[in-house]
C-alpha cells in the first residue's frame, strides 16, 4: 500500500486536462539521415541538442545509447542494421539515466502526457515475476495501467500504439481499434502496422495490389522522415523469387505491372 500511495500522484495527474499529442519531431529526420550515412557523431549531436531542450524521449534515448555503447541504422524495411559503436566515458550512461529520471518525474508531475507515458512504461517493465508479483511490483503495475488507460482515453498516440502492440495480443478487434485511433492522430507506424495486419490470406495479384495501395497510403504521415512500409518487404520477396526463376513470382510481378501498381507507386519499381 505504501508504494501505491507514492505512485498515486502520477495516476491523478494523468486525469488532468490533456495537452494535444505533438507530431513526431522534425529532428528525427535529421537523426535518421545521420545514422543512415553512418555518421554516428553527428547523430549523437542531433539527439543531444534535442535533449538539452528537455525532451524526455531524447534524454532517455541518449541514456540507452551510452548504456549500450552503440546505435543501429535502419538498413531495410523494419530491420535494423549492424551496430555502430559510440564513444563513451565512464559514468556517462549513469549521468544521463539520472537526468532522464529527474526530468521524467518533473514533467510527469506537471501533467505532461509524454512524460506520463514514459513513467508508465518504466513502472510496467520491471524485473518482477509475471505471476504472483510482490505487493510493490503489483502496485507499480497497477499505477502504470491506470496512467496508460487515461492517456489512451485522451488519444495519446504513443499510448495507443503501445497498447495495441504490447497489451492487446489475441484481441484483433481491440488492436485494430487502437491502431486506427493512433493512425487518426498521425502515427505512421500505427498506419503501417494496421495495413500489415490486414494482409490478405489469398496470395493473388489483386490481393497484393490492394495491400500495397493500403500500405503506401500511410506514406504521407511520414512527413520529412524516411520510412518503409511492409509493401516493400512483400515486393522485395517477389523480386527475389523472380530473380531465382520462380514462375509464380514472375507471373505475379507481371500481373502487378498490368494492374498499375508500379505506375501508382513508382519508387517501388526500384526494389
- Which has the closest alpha carbon to 216: 196, 197, 236? 196
Question: In angstroms, how far is the first alpha carbon of the chain from the final one?
Answer: 57
Distance of CA 11 to the CA centre of its chain: 24
Number of H helices, E strands in the chain: 14, 2
* pLDDT confidence of residue 16: 37
Q: Could you tell me the three cell numbers for 214?
A: 493500403
* pLDDT confidence of residue 29: 76
pLDDT along the chain (271 residues), means of 10: 38 37 56 86 91 91 93 64 86 94 96 94 76 81 92 94 82 92 92 86 86 92 78 88 92 95 92 76
* pLDDT confidence of residue 26: 62
Can you tell me the distance from the alpha carbon of 70 to that of 106, in angstroms, rounded to the nearest whole number?
28
* pLDDT confidence of residue 104: 96
3-state DSSP assignment of residue 24: coil
What are 11-15's contacts with CB under 8 Å, separation 24+?
A: 11/143, 11/146, 11/147, 11/150, 13/108, 13/109, 13/110, 13/111, 13/116, 14/111, 14/116, 14/146, 14/147, 14/150, 14/151, 15/150
Q: Kind and range of the H or E element at 75?
A: strand 70-76
* pLDDT confidence of residue 171: 87
Distance of CA 45 to the CA centre of its chain: 22
* pLDDT confidence of residue 79: 59
* pLDDT confidence of residue 146: 94
- Burial code (b: 16+ CB inside 10 Å, e: under 16) for 225-250 equals bebbbbbbbbbeebeebbeeeeeebe
* pLDDT confidence of residue 129: 64
* pLDDT confidence of residue 226: 72
Amino acid at each position: 500500500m505504501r508504494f501505491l500511495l507514492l505512485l498515486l500522484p502520477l495516476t491523478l495527474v494523468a486525469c488532468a486536462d490533456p495537452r494535444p499529442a505533438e507530431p513526431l519531431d522534425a529532428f528525427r529526420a535529421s537523426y535518421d539521415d545521420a545514422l543512415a550515412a553512418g555518421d554516428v557523431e553527428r547523430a549523437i549531436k542531433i539527439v543531444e541538442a534535442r535533449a538539452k531542450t528537455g525532451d524526455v524521449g531524447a534524454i532517455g534515448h541518449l541514456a540507452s545509447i551510452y548504456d549500450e555503447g552503440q546505435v543501429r541504422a535502419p538498413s531495410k524495411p523494419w530491420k535494423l542494421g549492424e551496430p555502430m559503436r559510440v564513444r563513451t566515458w565512464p559514468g556517462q550512461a549513469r549521468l544521463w539515466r539520472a537526468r532522464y529520471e529527474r526530468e521524467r518525474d518533473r514533467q510527469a508531475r506537471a501533467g505532461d502526457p509524454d512524460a506520463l507515458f514514459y513513467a508508465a512504461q518504466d513502472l510496467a517493465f520491471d524485473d518482477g515475476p509475471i505471476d504472483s508479483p510482490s505487493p510493490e511490483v503489483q502496485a507499480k503495475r497497477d499505477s502504470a495501467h491506470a496512467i496508460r488507460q487515461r492517456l489512451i482515453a485522451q488519444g495519446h498516440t504513443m499510448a495507443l500504439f503501445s497498447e495495441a502492440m504490447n497489451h492487446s495480443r489475441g484481441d484483433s478487434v481491440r488492436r485494430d481499434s487502437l491502431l486506427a485511433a493512433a493512425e487518426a492522430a498521425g502515427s505512421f507506424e500505427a498506419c503501417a502496422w494496421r495495413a500489415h495486419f490486414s494482409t490478405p490470406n489469398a496470395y493473388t495479384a489483386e490481393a497484393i495490389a490492394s495491400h500495397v495501395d493500403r500500405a503506401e497510403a500511410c506514406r504521407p504521415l511520414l512527413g520529412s522522415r524516411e520510412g518503409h512500409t511492409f509493401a516493400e518487404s512483400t515486393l522485395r520477396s517477389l523480386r527475389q523469387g523472380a530473380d531465382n526463376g520462380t514462375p509464380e513470382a514472375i507471373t505475379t510481378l507481371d500481373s502487378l505491372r498490368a494492374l498499375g501498381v508500379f505506375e501508382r507507386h513508382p519508387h517501388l519499381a526500384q526494389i
